[in-house]
Structure 1
Amino acid sequence: MHAQLAVLAVFVFLYSLVSKRLERTNFSGPMMFVAVGFILGPGLLGWFPGESPDGLLRWLADLTLALFLFIDAANADLPTLRKRYTIPARMLLFGLPGAMLLGFIFALALFDSLSAYEAAILAVMLAATDAALGKAVVTNPAVPSRLREGLNVESGLNDGLCVPFLFLFIALELGTSEGTGYGLTLLAEELGIGLLVGLGLTAAGGALLRICWRRSWVSETWLQMTTVALAFACFAVAQSLHGSGYIAAFTGGMLYGFIAHGKTHKLVHSAEGIGEVLALLTWMLFGVAVVGSVLDHATWTILVYSLLSLTVVRMLPNYLALIGSGEPPSSRLFLGWFGPRGMASIVFAIIVLEHGVSNGEFIALVVACTVLLSLILHGISANPLARWIAGLDREQS
């Protein structure tokens, strides 16, 4: 164990030394950590075991996703969002259901072994996009602010909105007698409880922080931990009450940024570093425990579905949803392309396996293949396409 910890610590240290330089290349940090995890895992060197401790991958993915959702929402440019709310609204109200429908149709067409409900489960799992993997775009100043904020809000909310639909189709597939009623109730609970917990905890926490700061009760060292603790609290409390922790984290972060006003960067700066470390550790574990299985068992139909999910299934509904929004075709294509699949889909796959869906292992394999392709394709294209859309936007303005 100590030898493995030493290898991991040395690699994280070396990566941190050149992280800024690597951000300007076409190889993202998650890509490198997945590759290193695969190399060190049982697929090649065998320095790390292929089986991770029970729940570790989901635990890391949950915490990382919650923290990134909170931070990204807190950093949201609300004045820009108020002016250009149509982008995330159209993508969530029309693009997201359209992606679920197309994903369902392609899953039925390509995978004979899946039932209709299992095809719907797969489509929902891959409709969710990853706010953490999209960070390379939503934090890139070269990308026009309206597009950055649109993607940030859309990726922050769509995974939470997918959760109740995932449980609805799982309930229907498992033959629960009250499946439809259960799913609709869960839909209300996930959204309502998540929203109330996120706003309530953040309002109370923000008020306490403000009072304690004015009385000089908070040290500079512990001030840096308030954001991390509040983000995890929003997520965990909502989940424990059977609400959506993702919705709680994002809405809580939005209120946190509003409360902090001009001090947001100071409050979230350290949390961003913690989030980056958690994310990269999660991706290394993904490389150790999952990538080898994808390479060994993926078929051409799985590969085709994964590519369709990243392109047609995501891009066509969002392109159509944004017609009439004032965005040129180039921007609509850009917004449709940057919907990386990542931690939310991984967590969904673990949920499906835990519920004992009959084709759960196959569904998880399709999800893992799609996430791996997304990691590579979106990572390579982030900086070049950011420069491309920035140039086009300058020409059109």
Structure 2
Amino acid sequence: MFETPSVAFVAAGAAVFAAAVLPRLLRRAPVSMPMVFLAAGALAFGLIDELPTPDPIAHREVAVHLTEVCVIISLMGAGLALDRPLGWRRWATTWRLLGIAMPLSILGLTLLGLWVLGLGLSAALLVGAALAPTDPVLASEVQVGEPADEQDEGGEDGEGSGPGSPLEREDELRFGLTSEAGLNDGLAFPFVYLAITLSLVGTSPAAWFPQWFAVDVLWRIAVGVLLGVGTGKLLAAVFFSSRFGRHRLAEHSEGFVALAATFLAYGAAEAVEGYGFVAVFVCAVTVRAAERTHGYHRVLHSYVEQLERLLTVVILVLLGGAISRGLLAEAGWRELAVALAVLLVVRPLAGWLGLAGGKTGPRERAATAFFGIRGIGSLYYLAYALGEGDFGATSDDLWAIVGLVVALSIVVHGVTTGPAMTLLDRYREREAARRFGDPGQAPNTAV
């Protein structure tokens, strides 16, 4: 009566329905949507033997492309959500997280891989590069919300410059983590390529440095930025330019165009050996900057957010299934110690040092440092690198440590995010009321 295909359809329908409902139900609870679907996947694949094993090693190509699509869609959503104009001072928190916290994280994780896990240099560097970036997918609970439109920006005078505008309400914690997640997934790629190169040619600087620095650092980053800006400006003209009149896409509220923008920016950059992750995020920020007050941004962001959530559900269920079928079989006490150190020591310490002297207050600084959530981007980097480099017979070990860190991050950050953000928001409101009298009309202040 209950055949596997029919049960699978029922399960898929229930999962999609849950993906729509759970984020709102669990918004401030010590349970997150990723936790629920990770557990559901582990339970389903643990109890139903007929389900095929979602082994990322045996099905590496599927793992690469599924995680790749999820990450680039998430990067588009992150870029479209940011209301703050680009600037060195305005984005100071972002530059600190990228320029200080991420390299320190890579260094710390590489040393843990060498000294505690006993990995070779290339494998240890791969672990460091894969686990260093804050994930743009699973960090949604601590990111900015949907983009503001003309009603939000304008207020009563229509100018959007007074106290309480979205630009001022976009607190430093959420902005910092969103912008960091948008850029560091691409900027960690040079270190992933370095790990691949070391695994193939050895550690002699003469063998790897010239090619790596010229191509993997300078060329790929520059091309990603330039094509992201170019694609973003071209699409912004199609979306908003008055020259297109009633044919401009912003007049038709077609949300799926965001997917076209994502694939165009990513494909164009990758075709000429640039970083597609960088191009997608820069494209989104460029489109957002072209016309900040138009309601079409919300349409685009809403579509991207829904698609990202569906893909996230699929990946988390498969990850839970892989864990229940033995993905972490090679993980012992050393791997557990390293995983806890990644989440509770390395990233928090690197983030705290990176933000020293910045515009965040002590509470926002601590929260920003702690909530460096690891996730689907790490899975992509590992799956990609294992197919490009020669890391020896360490695939099981590398998947064990990376899978363990991602799973623990989902649990640890899922339990703490809701309560911590609630406390920070309440404290910010009390501080605003104390300083300005009306928290709804007070500029954002560092906490």
TM-score by length of 2: 0.81
Q: Could you tell me how far apart the structure 1 residues matched to 2:431 and 2:111 are?
A: 37
3-state SS, counterpart of residue 223 of structure 1: coil
What are the residue-to-residue correspondences of 1:101-180 with 2, within 5 Å?
101-112=107-118, 114-139=119-144, 145-175=171-201, 178-180=207-209
1:379 aligned onto 2:383 = no
Q: Contact 2:240–2:249 at 8 Å: present in 1 too?
A: no
Q: How many residues in Structure 1 have an aligned counterpart in Structure 2?
A: 394
Offset at 1:319?
A: 0.7
Question: Which amino acid is the alignment partner of residue 193 of structure 2?
Answer: F
Q: Contact 2:373–2:413 at 8 Å: present in 1 too?
A: yes
List structure 1 segments (4+ residues) > 4 angstroms apart after TM superposition: 79-83, 217-222, 394-397
Question: Which amino acid is the alignment partner of residue 102 of structure 1?
Answer: G
What are the superposed Cα offsets for residues 165-205 of structure 1, whole Å, 9 maximum, x if unpaired? Answer: 11112211222684222221211222112112211122112
What percent of counterpart residues are identical?
A: 25
Q: Could you tell me how far apart the structure 1 residues matched to 2:301 and 2:359 are?
A: 33
Q: Could you tell me how far apart the structure 2 residues matched to 1:319 and 1:218 are?
A: 43
| Structure with larger Rg | 2
Q: Could you tell me how far apart the structure 1 residues matched to 2:317 and 2:371 are?
A: 22
Offset at 1:12?
A: 1.7
Q: Contact 1:352–1:360 at 8 Å: present in 2 too?
A: no
In structure 2, the CA distance between the partners of 1:346 and 1:195, relative to structure 1 (3 Å rule), is same
Other-structure match for 2:216: 186
In structure 2, the CA distance between the partners of 1:182 and 1:291, relative to structure 1 (3 Å rule), is farther
Other-structure match for 1:196: 226
Offset at 1:394?
A: 4.3
In structure 2, the CA distance between the partners of 1:225 and 1:54, relative to structure 1 (3 Å rule), is same
What are the residue-to-residue correspondences of 1:192-341 with 2, within 5 Å?
192-210=222-240, 214-216=245-247, 218=249, 223-263=254-294, 264-341=297-374
What are the superposed Cα offsets for residues 49-89 of structure 1, whole Å, 9 maximum, x if unpaired? Answer: 11365522322211111111111111102159776422111
3-state SS, counterpart of residue 205 of structure 1: helix
3-state SS, counterpart of residue 307 of structure 1: helix
Other-structure match for 2:391: 357
In structure 2, the CA distance between the partners of 1:167 and 1:222, relative to structure 1 (3 Å rule), is same
In structure 2, the CA distance between the partners of 1:127 and 1:216, relative to structure 1 (3 Å rule), is same
In structure 2, the CA distance between the partners of 1:14 and 1:159, relative to structure 1 (3 Å rule), is closer
2:20 to 16, 21, 30: 16
In structure 2, the CA distance between the partners of 1:346 and 1:291, relative to structure 1 (3 Å rule), is farther
Offset at 1:361?
A: 2.9
What runs of 5+ residues in structure 2 fail to find an aligned partner? 146-165, 433-447
Q: Could you tell me how far apart the structure 2 residues matched to 1:190 and 1:335 are?
A: 28
Q: Higher helix fraction: Structure 1 or Structure 2?
A: 1
Other-structure match for 1:48: 51
3-state SS, counterpart of residue 356 of structure 2: coil
3-state SS, counterpart of residue 401 of structure 2: helix
3-state SS, counterpart of residue 385 of structure 2: helix
In structure 2, the CA distance between the partners of 1:328 and 1:18, relative to structure 1 (3 Å rule), is closer
1:25 aligned onto 2:56 = no
What are the superposed Cα offsets for residues 12-60 of structure 1, whole Å, 9 maximum, x if unpaired? Answer: 224434542233422222211111111121x332242113655223222
Q: Contact 1:137–1:148 at 8 Å: present in 2 too?
A: yes
Question: Which amino acid is the alignment partner of residue 115 of structure 2?
Answer: A
What runs of 5+ residues in structure 1 fail to find an aligned partner? none
Offset at 1:218?
A: 5.0
Q: Contact 2:19–2:310 at 8 Å: present in 1 too?
A: no
Q: Could you tell me how far apart the structure 2 residues matched to 1:390 and 1:160 are?
A: 30
Q: Could you tell me how far apart the structure 2 residues matched to 1:271 and 1:326 are?
A: 31
Other-structure match for 2:425: 390
Question: Which amino acid is the alignment partner of residue 105 of structure 1?
Answer: L
Q: Could you tell me how far apart the structure 2 residues matched to 1:226 and 1:213 are?
A: 16
In structure 2, the CA distance between the partners of 1:196 and 1:396, relative to structure 1 (3 Å rule), is same
